[in-house]
Structure 1
Amino acid sequence: MLRPLLALAALGLAATPALAADGEQLFNMQCKMCHAGGPMGPSLVGVAGAKIAAKPGFNYSPALKAKEGTWTDANLDAFLKAPTQFAPGTRMMISVPSEESRQAVIAYLKTLK
């Protein structure tokens, strides 16, 4: 009974690099224009697991500055799904409606160190 579960777990681990690669493609098409570290949005290098709105050198909205916690998978997912619901008053207006796309982007963000 344990072997099928181990096989499924191994498949999940094997899919992670592919998921991150899909996320990189989505990021480059939809996010990179604003998140290249300029005035529009902060660089997202190291964002996964970091404190929310704490990257030096970027003027975050009061809405994000008021958020507590870190950019966990759940927080990144909620923010990407509906930025203005996650942090009412945020300047980010672009959402990622597809759960599959959000998971791919999050997997990619976790590779940015």
Structure 2
Amino acid sequence: MIRLATASAVSLGAILAFTAGPALAADGAQLFNMQCKMCHNGTPMGPPLAGVAGGPVAAKAFAYSPALKGKGGTWTDANLDAFLKAPTAFAPGTKMMISVPNAENRAALIEHLKTLK
């Protein structure tokens, strides 16, 4: 039974890897609109996130914390995931206090961020 469940999970994971992009982005758009948009809409609360995925960390016109400014690097999927999972662990001293503990929700948000240009 465990072997079947593991094989099914692996198969499902392979299927999701090929089909997840658009479906996850749509789910991510819904999550973004419900949880992120109120702060990340160009107000002083948070920077707009269009073009963030794949771009340099703390590069938008915004008053970032010294912690995030000093982080450097690029917003890769892994960095976005780590930041969304635990912002204060990723960049101690960051202004971002909201985390996304659910891995599926983080993946969906990251896919959505990739669509924002």
Are positions 1:52 and 2:57 aligned together? yes
CA RMSD of aligned residues (A): 1.3
Q: Which ranges in structure 2 are unaligned for 5 or more consecutive residues?
A: 1-12
Aligned residue pairs, count: 105
- Equivalents in 2 of 1:46, 1:27: separation in Å? 15
Q: When the two structures are superposed, what TM-score results if normalisation uses the length of structure 1?
A: 0.88
The aligned runs of 1:31-110 (5 Å cut-off) are: 31-55=36-60, 57-110=61-114
Shift of 1:37: 1.0
Identical counterparts, % of pairs: 74
Q: Which ranges in structure 1 are unaligned for 5 or more consecutive residues?
A: 1-7
More helix by share: 2
27-36 vs 11-20, greater mean Cα deviation: 11-20
- Equivalents in 2 of 1:90, 1:29: separation in Å? 22
- Equivalents in 2 of 1:43, 1:15: separation in Å? 25
Where does residue 5 of structure 2 map in the other structure?
none
Where does residue 18 of structure 1 map in the other structure?
23
Q: 1:9 to 1:47 in 2, by over 3 A?
A: same
- Equivalents in 2 of 1:112, 1:73: separation in Å? 14
Shift of 1:12: 3.0
Q: When the two structures are superposed, what TM-score results if normalisation uses the length of structure 2?
A: 0.85
- Equivalents in 2 of 1:46, 1:75: separation in Å? 15
Query: Deviation above 2 Å: which 4+ runs of structure 1?
Result: 8-15
